[in-house]
Structure 1
Amino acid sequence: MSDAEQYGDQLFSHAHPAETARLEALAQALDPGTFHRLERLPLREDSRCLEVGSGLGTVGEWLVRRLPAGHVVAADRDPVHLRTRGVPGLEVRRFDVTADEAPEGSFDLIHARWVLSHLPARQNVLERMARWLAPGGWMVVEDLVMFPLETSPEPLYRKVSLAMCDVVERRIGTDCRWARTLPALLSAAGLIDVHGDTRTSRVGRTPMGRFWRLSAEQLGVDLQQDFGITPEELDAFSDRVTAADFTAPGLATVTAIGRRAGRRERPHAAPL
């Protein structure tokens, strides 16, 4: 593996005192849409699920409630923030999706949210995950795209937000445009019945506004040194992006859903 900085090594480190609050805000912003999409899938109650990059574990815990006879693996490269330890039916697993393997055909559902765009080998990871699906199993990939920021009429919001995207690209290789082609990428990975949608979460006095403010604060040194954004501009941005009268769209989420061909014939042992 490369020695280059990865998400969580330094940038957005779990050791940062505000990282839990940042992840909480993101979960509050995205969970309702994620739960709506997963609720619509025709999953059996004994489904075996893998939640990749599980963060705080909110999606894994929801899956356990949704599938009471199933088995859910909440997998994260550093699961320190997972709050779902001890929940029956949920296994917390330290798992690096760029290096670790799962048995082929071992999951009926694989879900990854705002994970793959941060990985340099994202397409390879996507193709490997497709092989981990059982016949008839579903993959749901949700990832961020930056186009709402590029078209914002608010000069300071647009300037700082686009600089934030550039910082994470330089530091950890995040591609804030990659997910625009997600449905086609799932098809290229051999999945069928592929479909998807795109949704935005507004900033302002919202969870997404808090998430974006906390992200900017962690990126502050880079924004000043590499993009010449002044401390005064950062303060104004933080105030504006969480203001009640500011309703600009934040990063959008592209979702792609696909299924592995075939049909699951009978239950299997819990994976991993």
Structure 2
Amino acid sequence: MERDEQYGEELFAHGRRGEAARLAALAAALDDSTFRWLERLPVRPNWRCLDIGTGTGTVAAWLSRRCPDGRVVATDRDTALLPPAAERGWETLEHDVTVDGFPDGSFDLIHVRWVLSHLRDREAVLARIVRWLAPGGWVLIQDLDRFPIASSPHPVYRKVSEAMCDAVEARIGTDTSWARTFPAPLRRAGLIDLDTEAFVAPTGATAMGRFWLGSADQLRGDLLEQFAVTEPELRYMHEQMVNPSYRDFALASVAAWGRRPER
């Protein structure tokens, strides 16, 4: 049964043991692909940028270097994992995207990574985000999708990984298949000049492997009690996620981008 819990309240809370390392591993796995996608957009030095769900702040740092004459605002419900204020080159705001807003037309670029799929009202939130764009401004969203897992040639890994997706869906309402519909949600939100692309980082003794193992550790109780995963299967998962010779795939990161019409 689905619980009335949001991402970060208990599961994946920033103050939870191991969460800082889990998010740092995710950033290490995804940042290069994120920066490649951002570089496809006509980012200018004076742009006003918003990074929603900034986590450890790596994307905000990149934007601040690319837009030295503009403004970069990085938001999260909990900003505890960001570098000290003296080391940041951007503004930081504790902000819940489901209830807090910005004036219409505030930003030239809005980036959202692995946030919207965790929200039950994700498309309504996306529509609000689009209103914060200036005419001609761009949105780049990225979200997780489970589609690579089903084709895994490793049965135990596939079983545990699929159970992890099911557990997150049941626990906090994540839609682990929503990103496979991109770029249609951006079209419904009124954006134009749309495109989409996916990136899949390997697991094993890799950054994505560390992220996936950290996620399994936090979901351990759910997996054992509700999703028929056994202790030996979790041990197998741990062994393979630190094994330099093991390779598989977990979640894809699917990106979509689009521009708000000038009128």
- Residue 27 of structure 1: aligned partner: 27
- Residue 76 of structure 1: aligned partner: 76
Partner letter of residue 9 of structure 2?
D
Q: Which whole-Å deviations, capped at 9, do the CAs of 1:60-103 have from their partners, x for residues lacking one?
A: 01100111111100000111111162356511001100001110
Task: State which drifts further: 29-38 or 241-250.
Answer: 241-250
* Whole-angstrom distance in 1 between the partners of 2:88 and 2:215: 33
SS in 2 for 1:163: helix
- Residue 194 of structure 2: aligned partner: 194
Q: Which whole-Å deviations, capped at 9, do the CAs of 1:212-238 have from their partners, x for residues lacking one?
A: 011101111110000222222111111
Instruction: Kindly indicate whether residue 247 of structure 2 is the aligned counterpart of residue 247 of structure 1.
Output: yes
- Residue 207 of structure 2: aligned partner: 207
Task: State which drifts further: 244-253 or 187-196.
Answer: 244-253
Q: Which whole-Å deviations, capped at 9, do the CAs of 1:6-50 have from their partners, x for residues lacking one?
A: 111110111211000000100000000001111221122110000
- Residue 130 of structure 2: aligned partner: 130
- Residue 228 of structure 1: aligned partner: 228
- Residue 155 of structure 2: aligned partner: 155
1:70–1:89 contact (8 Å) kept in structure 2: no
- Residue 170 of structure 1: aligned partner: 170
* Residue-pair matches, total: 261
User: Could you say if the C-alpha distance between residues 146 and 228 of structure 1 is closer, same or farther in structure 2, counting changes exceeding 3 Å?
Assistant: same
Unaligned runs of 5+ in 2: none
Structure 1 residue 119: Cα displacement: 0.4
Question: Pairwise mapping of residues 72-151 of structure 1 onto structure 2 (< 5 A)?
Answer: 72-83=72-83, 85-87=85-87, 89-151=89-151
* Whole-angstrom distance in 2 between the partners of 1:136 and 1:157: 44
Moved over 4 A (4+): none
* Whole-angstrom distance in 2 between the partners of 1:15 and 1:251: 24
SS in 2 for 1:41: coil
User: Could you say if the C-alpha distance between residues 70 and 93 of structure 1 is closer, same or farther in structure 2, counting changes exceeding 3 Å?
Assistant: same
When the two structures are superposed, what TM-score results if normalisation uses the length of structure 2? Answer: 0.96
Q: Which whole-Å deviations, capped at 9, do the CAs of 1:105-144 have from their partners, x for residues lacking one?
A: 1100000000000000100001111111001100000001
* Whole-angstrom distance in 1 between the partners of 2:241 and 2:88: 39
* Whole-angstrom distance in 2 between the partners of 1:134 and 1:84: 30
Q: Which whole-Å deviations, capped at 9, do the CAs of 1:182-217 have from their partners, x for residues lacking one?
A: 211101111110011011111011100110011101
* Whole-angstrom distance in 2 between the partners of 1:196 and 1:230: 37
When the two structures are superposed, what TM-score results if normalisation uses the length of structure 1? Answer: 0.93
Question: Pairwise mapping of residues 23-62 of structure 1 onto structure 2 (< 5 A)?
Answer: 23-62=23-62
What is the RMSD of the two structures over their aligned residues, measured on CA atoms? 1.3
Structure 1 residue 243: Cα displacement: 1.4
- Residue 16 of structure 2: aligned partner: 16
Structure 1 residue 170: Cα displacement: 0.6
- Residue 268 of structure 1: aligned partner: none
1:25–1:210 contact (8 Å) kept in structure 2: yes
SS in 2 for 1:37: helix
SS in 1 for 2:74: strand
* Whole-angstrom distance in 2 between the partners of 1:212 and 1:125: 27
* Whole-angstrom distance in 2 between the partners of 1:133 and 1:15: 32
Unaligned runs of 5+ in 1: 264-272
